[in-house]
Structure formats: structure tokens, C-alpha cells
Structure 1
Amino acid sequence: MAHILLIPANSPFVVTGALSAKVSTVEEFAQKHRAFAIFNAGFFDPANQKSTSYVVVTGQMVADPKDNERLVNNPQLKPYLNLIFNRSEFRRYLCGQTTRYDITLHNESPPANCRLVDAIGAGPRLLPKLTSVPEGFVDNAKGRDALLSKQLNARTAVGITSEGSIILVMVAQKPSKPKNSGISLVQLADLMKKLGASAAMNLDGGSSSSLYYNGKAFYGKFDLQGNPIKRKVKSVLLVQENVRN
């Protein structure tokens, strides 16, 4: 089942990032932030509860994967660290008085006359093309596929249309078929394209896939008894009303 939220360009809402000091469910994020909707976002290490994605909130970097010792010191990931540290991120810029969104690699500079306000890293990019290899998720020669991209799973994504609208998607598994339902990464890219996105990025998925909307939480992964797995996550995307001073 696909949960889809469209935030039209020039709507009274903005999409921003948020980070939990430890890890929290989307319901707990909702209690802390006055948000219209919340979607899980960046990657993290559940063992030490540290982010493995960059997160910028109101212009300040609040999570740096280079500070995660379990990531940096993992011998299996050493060959991929330069790629991991330059993965895709969803950004919000302030260009004069205008809010702009983009999906770009971490090392890319903001456009001229634009200031980076918020960013949440994840990846890989889904559109205009899938970039699993250059972002260090897939290494075909070594059989590496960190996201099990060809398998059906719960997955979350964010997209931007050519008009500047934002599309947030969480594809959940079926409670009756928890082992054989969901969506593959290629199918997720196709879905985002069909929904009108010209740029799109994968977010953390599997047990992390979750959203909060209209006072209710929805979870993407289910156990063998069909019960939702309510995993705590490190970072989220918030849809909030844009309060202008």
C-alpha cells in the first residue's frame, strides 16, 4: 500500500528536517513538533543511535556521519566511505524571500544567492536516474547491495516536481504478506516518476518506514503475525505550516 502526500508549490506548508537526540517513533516526533505530517528520513545506526546521514536544521549541521565511529571504523565500509560521505540529500534553500527545494549530492554548493536552511541525507537518488553505485550502496563486483534494492520491502521516498511541488511517499507491506510485499528500488523510482516527480530520492526504509498524518501513525513493516513494527528513527521530514513573521 502506498501512502502519498503532495505539498503543492506555493502552498502554506514547508518541508523541514528534524533530528532526535536519541531515537524516536514518528508519534514521539509529532508530540515534540507541531507538524501536519511526518515521514521517516535519514539513515542511522540502531546500535549507537547515531546518524549515518548528514542533517542540517535551520542552517546548522546537527548530524555528521563522520562523527559516527561505528561507520568510520567499519573495515567492510572503508572502501566506500568517500562515496557514503557524498550521498544525495534533500535540501531547502532560502533564495532571497523564496523557498526552493533540491535533491543534490552533499558536496554540492548551494546555488548563487541561496542559503542552505535544511538538509537531510539518505539516498540513493531515484530520479532522473538511479545512482546506487556512485553513492556506495551497490558494488556489483563484490555482490554488495546494502538496501537489498531488488527485493520487495517497505520503502520511503521524497520527490520534487518540475513546478516545485513536494511528493512524500511511504510504501508499506501488506500485513497478510509481510515477507512478500512492498516495493523494489526500481519500482519505487517508477512510482515517483508516475506521480510527477522530476527529481526523487530514496529515504531509509524497511522497519524505519513510517509516517504520521492527521493524528495517526502508519508503519511500513509488519511481523509474521501481521502486527506493525514500530521502530524508532533518528531523523524525519516534517511538513509544517509556514509561519511568516
Structure 2
Amino acid sequence: MKRRVSILVACVLFILTITTSSFAASSISKDMTVEYSGGKKTVKTVWIDLNDPTIRLDIVCANNKVGTTDSLKDIANLAKDDQTKVLAAINGTYFNAYSDMQPSGTLISEGEVLHVTNSGTVFGIDGGNDFSIVPLSIKIEGSINDSWVWPNNWYAWNINQIFTESSSSVIFTPEYGTKTPVHKMTSIVVDNHIVTKISSGQVNIPSEGFVLVTGDNSQISKFQVGYSADYKITYNENDYDGATTDQPLSWNNIRSGVGAGPLLLKDSKIAVNAKKEGFTEEKITVSKATRSFIGITNKNQLVIGVVDGVTVNEMAEIAKKLGLTDAMCLDGGASSGLLYNDTYLYKPGRDLSNAVVITQLKNAPVRLQLNGKEIYFDKDPYIEASSNRTLVPMRKIFETLGASVSWASDSTITAVKGDITIKLKVDSDIATVNGVEYKLECPAVLRKGRTFVPLRFITEQFGGNVEMKDGIIRLNIY
């Protein structure tokens, strides 16, 4: 997904003036004066080097909840901890600023889809800091007892979005809060992949699960307490004409993403078509307004910025003059805000629903390769301190090793590859391989909404080996 296109910026048309400059590792802020067809504009920008593996782009919701608001600075600081420094932040997607504060665009955070809107344009960034901008369509599909086909499959309209239609089906995750909205439909509670409760009205959302709220009786009848249940996201290209194309997108490794728009640039060419993307308000399609944007250069430099008083077409022209190859608008107007090193370069005129936050890890993340090819995860593998063993997200590592995985009603994880069957339980240090018990140096654990499993044990049982070389954990499968 890295951009390899060379571009030539005509110096006659591009005047660059750095009026202020602040430095941090792999990032810099610049005030840039750009000549365009409407005159000159000063653009507040922050540039981030995505070639640095310690850089992370995070999507953060106000108060860590979908549907609330807070200041840009306070949202950004939610991404800070003793291992992570916040470098910069910019406002994210549109939201209902004058009513229920619900987001109006797609949100993907730490590999989890928090909200879906199949219109506009979406940017995504994966575990290797490869950045892409696409017209994205998301489909939410569910399973019962590990079956994804009729009559055990189900679907959802959206995630963490309030609907009042009796036929709706919506998933609510812990990112929405501790409880679902108040409603009169059926709530199906899934905790650690197991259906634990089916009742009407508002219920608690399990911290390691989700709730399906639906009034569709054909879906409700498929669930029973004790059944296993799960859902998955399918990514496809959106043709902007109300239909999903048959072109799948390889977005399963995407860590973070935001849907907003309109699209500004694609492959170094101006590509504005706001109405086709579904935008109808003149303040977005034709009027001059404050615009915020995000884009990428052909050297994998991420650029975020804000400019006052331009149309979307003028914004595209300016983005091209900045040397971007692909770019899109984020929410604008009073929501426009830019933060760098905890200082506002452009202060929003209101509290925000969500933000794009650029962070830097104090230590480089764990790197893995399979037979010489880098493996990227939507959530970082980590080293468990007491055992010094590497734990990795379960589903991704099993898929990478060519194994199928399923859950049983007693929370047993079963992975099968050929004639080898491995069974583990979360928080248990006992595993079985083809019925033979093994004691693990560290158990499988639930962490940040993912099940993590011990890498070496899994790999070796499936006939491979693990070695550390040049700071990279190398898996070899023969």
C-alpha cells in the first residue's frame, strides 16, 4: 500500500515558508504558505515519518466511548501511558454535534471496528505503518457454533449505532459503554464468545464480549444460551453508487481507520467528487470553510493539517502543492483542530467525538516473520514478563500457520491443522495436543479484546520452530 509514485512539484507555483518549527523524533510541525488558484493560504501542518516502526496512529473516542465528546487535547491524552508518548492529534470523523453526539463515519481502533458508515472515504493504516485511502464498504457477518452459513449465520446493520427501527440488528461493544441504549427489542449477550443471556430491553455489555440488539425474530430464534457466537468484518470496495463491488480489500491487518471525506487526491491527481460520495450539504460540497485533512507522500510521510476558508476543490489543490499523493478531508468547520506536543496549533471551536492521535512507543514493537515474510497484527504481540514468552493474537497466528480455530461453550479454544489438534483454555496453563496434556510456561490470556496465545508452543506443535535473530522473532514452518 506504500505509495511509489514520483511527483514533480513546480517550484514556480509552490512557495514554502516555515514560520514555526517544533521537533520530536520522527515528527515536525510547519506553518506552510501555499500559492493556489485562489491566492495564498497558510496551512498548519504536522509531518510524521511512518518509516519509524515506533510510530503509531491511533483512533481515540472521547472518554474512550462512542457517542460522547471532549476536548481534542483530553482525547489525545487518553493515548498516553508510561510506554507511549503523544506526538500530535487532529479531529477525526463527522458526528452529530447538535444532537446525540453519535459519529457519522467509520471508526476502526486497535483492529476493532467501532462504527460503520458505507459512504465517504476511509483511510486505514496497518501494523507495518502502510497507509491507504479507499472507498470502503464494510459487511458485518455473524456465526453460531462456529458455523458461518445458513441456518446458523446472522448479520448486523452497524456497530455502536442507535437505531429505532424494530427490524434493526446492531452490535454494541464495550467501547459504547457499560450498558446498551434503552430499547424495547431483544438483547443477546455474548461474553467470551458464549451466549450468556437473552432478554428484552437494556442490558450490561460484557467487557470481553458484545451485545446484539435486534427486533428481527428470524435472527433471535437462532440463538440459545450456551451457544458460541462470533462476528467478523468483511471489507470491500464501495462503488459510491449504492452498491458494494465484488472487489475485496485486504484490510484484515488494519489497526486504525477513519471514514470521512471527501477524497482530495488519488495517485497524485485531484479526485474530488463529493456528491458521488454521498455528501449533500453545501458547506462540504461547495462553500468555503475551515478544512482539516490527512494524507501521505511518496516517501511514506504522513501529513495532517488545517487551513481556513477554502472550498473542497481548493483544499485538493493545496494538498497537491504540499506534495501529497493521496489525501482526504476529515471533519471540518468548528471541529477542525490540530495539536502538536500538547500545544494547539489550531484549537477546535467545540468538543469532539473522536480524534486521530499520533503516538510514539518508547520501545520498538515485537517483530515477527514467517519463513522470511513479515507478519503484521492489528494488535501488537507482547512479551509476558514472568515467563519471558511471546504472546500473539490467537486468530491471526492460527490463520498464518494454516490452522482453523473454534470456540466451545466452555471457552475451550480448538486449533486444527491436518492431523494435529491443539486445545487451550484462557487463563489455564494446561493444553492438550491430540489428547496429550502439556504444561504451558504461560497460559492463553484475554487482553484488549483479543485472545493471546503462547507463540513458541503453538508454532512448535504445528511442526515449526522459533528463533530470535537481529531483533526479529522468526517462525520457520516446513
Corresponding residue to 1:134 among 268, 276, 283: 276
User: Would you say 1:171 and 2:171 are equivalent positions?
Assistant: no
Match of residue 209 from structure 1:
336
Aligned-residue offset at 1:230: 3.1
Matches of 1:6 and 1:214 in 2, distance apart?
Answer: 13
Matches of 2:346 and 2:115 in 1, distance apart?
Answer: 24
User: Would you say 1:44 and 2:95 are equivalent positions?
Assistant: yes
Match of residue 120 from structure 2:
87
Deviations 1:90-133 (A, max 9, x none): 10123xxx331100112234338x61211111011001311212
User: Would you say 1:15 and 2:57 are equivalent positions?
Assistant: yes
Match of residue 350 from structure 2:
231
After the TM superposition, which parts of structure 1 deviate over 6 Å for at least 4 consecutive aligned residues?
none
Structure with greater helix share of residues: 1
Matches of 2:120 and 2:311 in 1, distance apart?
Answer: 20
Query: Is the 8 Å Cα contact of residues 120 and 279 (structure 2) preserved in structure 1?
Result: no
Query: Is the 8 Å Cα contact of residues 283 and 289 (structure 2) preserved in structure 1?
Result: no
Higher relative CO (Cα under 8 Å, sequence separation at least 6) belongs to 1
Match of residue 156 from structure 1:
292
The change in CA–CA distance for 1:7 and 1:58 in structure 2 (over 3 A counts) is same
Aligned-residue offset at 1:191: 1.0
Aligned with 1:28: secondary structure? helix
Aligned-residue offset at 1:236: 0.9
Q: Kindly report the root-mean-square deviation, in angstroms, between the aligned alpha carbons of the 2 structures.
A: 2.0
Query: Is the 8 Å Cα contact of residues 90 and 337 (structure 2) preserved in structure 1?
Result: yes
Aligned-residue offset at 1:23: 0.7
Match of residue 31 from structure 1:
77
The change in CA–CA distance for 1:150 and 1:87 in structure 2 (over 3 A counts) is closer
Matches of 1:127 and 1:30 in 2, distance apart?
Answer: 27
Structure with greater strand share of residues: 2
Matches of 1:110 and 1:155 in 2, distance apart?
Answer: 28
Aligned-residue offset at 1:209: 0.2
TM-score, scaled relative to structure 1: 0.74
Matches of 1:117 and 1:40 in 2, distance apart?
Answer: 18
Which runs of no fewer than 5 residues in structure 1 stay unpaired? 66-84, 139-143, 173-181, 221-228
Query: Is the 8 Å Cα contact of residues 294 and 330 (structure 2) preserved in structure 1?
Result: yes
Identity in percent: 22
Letter in 2 for 1:90: F
Matches of 2:288 and 2:136 in 1, distance apart?
Answer: 28
Corresponding residue to 2:134 among 79, 99, 104: 104
TM-score, scaled relative to structure 2: 0.39
Which runs of no fewer than 5 residues in structure 2 stay unpaired? 1-41, 81-85, 138-236, 238-247, 367-478
Query: Is the 8 Å Cα contact of residues 69 and 353 (structure 2) preserved in structure 1?
Result: yes
